Amino acid sequence: MVEGLSINLATIREQCGFAAAVDVCLKHGITAIAPWRDQVAAAGLDEAARIVRANGLKLTGLCRGGFFPAVDADGRQKAIDDNKRAVDEAAALGADCLVLVVGGLPGSSKDIGAARQMVTDGIAATLPHARAAGVPLAIEPLHPMYAGDRSCVNTLGQALDICEQVGEGVGVAIDVYHVWWDPDLANQIARAGRMDRILAHHICDWLVPTKDMLTDRGMMGDGVIDLKGIRRMVEGAGFFGAQEVEIFSADNWWKRPADEVIATCVERYRSCCQA
CATH of the domain at 189: 3.20.20.150
Return per-residue pLDDT of the chain as tens, 275 residues.
999 999 999 999 999 999 999 999 999 999 999 999 999 999 999 999 999 999 999 999 999 999 999 999 999 999 999 999 999 999 999 999 999 999 999 999 999 999 999 999 999 999 999 999 999 999 999 999 999 999 999 999 999 999 999 999 999 999 999 999 999 999 999 999 999 999 999 999 999 999 999 999 999 999 999 999 999 999 999 999 999 999 999 999 999 999 999 999 999 999 999 99
The answer to whether residues 173 and 139 touch, using CB atoms and an 8 Å cutoff, is yes
Domain count, the chain: 1
Could you list the residue range(s) of the whole structural domain that residue 243 is in? 5-273
The pLDDT score that the predictor gives to residue 217 is 98
Distance (Å, rounded) from C-alpha 170 to C-alpha 195? 11
C-alpha angle 175-176-177 in degrees, rounded to nearest 5:
90
The answer to whether residues 122 and 68 touch, using CB atoms and an 8 Å cutoff, is yes
| Cβ neighbours around 148 below 10 Å, total | 14
